[in-house]
Structure 1
Amino acid sequence: MTDQNQPPFRFRFRVRYGECDAQGVVFNARYGDFVDISVNEYIRTLFGDYQRLLDQDLDIQVVSLTVNWKAPAKFDEVLEARIRAGRIGTTSFTLHLEFVRFGEEQLIADADITYVLIQPSRMGKTEVPARIRALLEEGAPGVLISHAGEHATAG
């Protein structure tokens, strides 16, 4: 588990119109997408290009995803996903995410996603190698990736 005293990895993104429902808020199912894009950035930061995992005959598959909603998010708001490693087992690991409204620090939702590590060549689970365990334990404290353009100014 990552050191809770360290700042988490952060990924910012902007809510798009098509992600909202008839009530004008982010549709609940979109949070699965938000978890996926946030974790992809986290994995890329930890391991480099995702292809590096595949080149080692390793891949990850989701075995559990839970989301808890706390407040609505709306079109064009910037959300920040904060990610820390949770439990790292023999063949699986869990990541904990918190989604906050950027600039307000309001918790929008939190999620836990558990992956099992597999060998694609045999489509079976495999032990988390020591080097990957170490990267997960270290995390990416203080790293910020933004796709939101929150600092862009009109010209």
Structure 2
Amino acid sequence: MTDFAVAIRVYYEDTDFSGVVYHARYLHFFERGRTEALRACGVRHCELLQRAEPLVFAVRKMTVEWLAPARIDDLIEVRTRFVETRGARFLLEQEIRREGRLLARADVEAACMNRDGRPRRLPADVAGRLAARVRDETSRARSTGD
């Protein structure tokens, strides 16, 4: 399921009193994964903010399933796959793994909007980069049987 992966170390600040990652911290890990996946596509938040009409991305909907705990000092991998782009939105699937074991997964719908919070179509260059990732991942999945 990998379109893009980033390794993240679990620090003390990410855990509860027992050394297990606090459930809300997974949202931070997923955010880092999305940001790095976008960066790998050539889409940078700072450049979106510098456009004539500054644009931002916001999570519109997210479904998370926690399957096993991550613990202090674990090296986890956040995997992000672009699934679909349409209008102002794009869909992603994300996973958090430790040594290959699935710990958590999320389905994410993100939206493009201006600074006033009004939806805006993905700019053509951004939509093109994300759509290329969707096509690449779809082609790879078909060829490998994933």
TM value normalised by structure 1: 0.77
Task: Provide structure 2 residue ranges, at least 5 long, that are not aligned to the other structure.
Answer: 137-146
Indicate the SS of the match to 2:81.
Answer: strand
Report the aligned-residue RMSD.
2.1
Q: Which of 119, 126, 129 is matched with 1:132 structurally?
A: 126
Q: Which of 102, 107, 122 is matched with 1:107 structurally?
A: 102
Q: Which of 15, 30, 37 is matched with 1:20 structurally?
A: 15
Question: Which of structures 1 and 2 has the larger relative contact order (alpha carbons within 8 angstroms, sep 6+)?
Answer: 1
Match of 2:45 in 1: 50
Distance 2:117 2:12 in 1: 38
Q: CA-to-partner distance for each residue in 1:44-63, whole Å, 9 max, x for gaps? A: 22235421111222211121
Q: How many residues align structurally? A: 134
Deviation for aligned residue 1:66? 1.8
Indicate the SS of the match to 1:21.
Answer: coil
Identity of aligned residues (%): 30
Match of 1:78 in 2: 75
Indicate the SS of the match to 1:76.
Answer: coil
Distance 1:49 1:93 in 2: 15
Indicate the SS of the match to 2:28.
Answer: helix
Detail structure 1 runs of 4+ shifted over 4 Å in the superposition.
none
Flag the structure with higher helix content: 2
Distance 1:47 1:128 in 2: 14
Match of 1:150 in 2: none
The answer on whether the counterparts of 2:84 and 2:131 sit within 8 Å (CA) in structure 1 is no
Task: Provide structure 1 residue ranges, at least 5 long, that are not aligned to the other structure.
Answer: 142-155
Deviation for aligned residue 1:100? 0.7
Distance 2:119 2:127 in 1: 15
Q: Cα gap change, 1:13/1:68 in structure 2, threshold over 3 Å: closer, same or farther?
A: same
Indicate the SS of the match to 1:138.
Answer: helix
Are 2:48 and 1:38 aligned? no
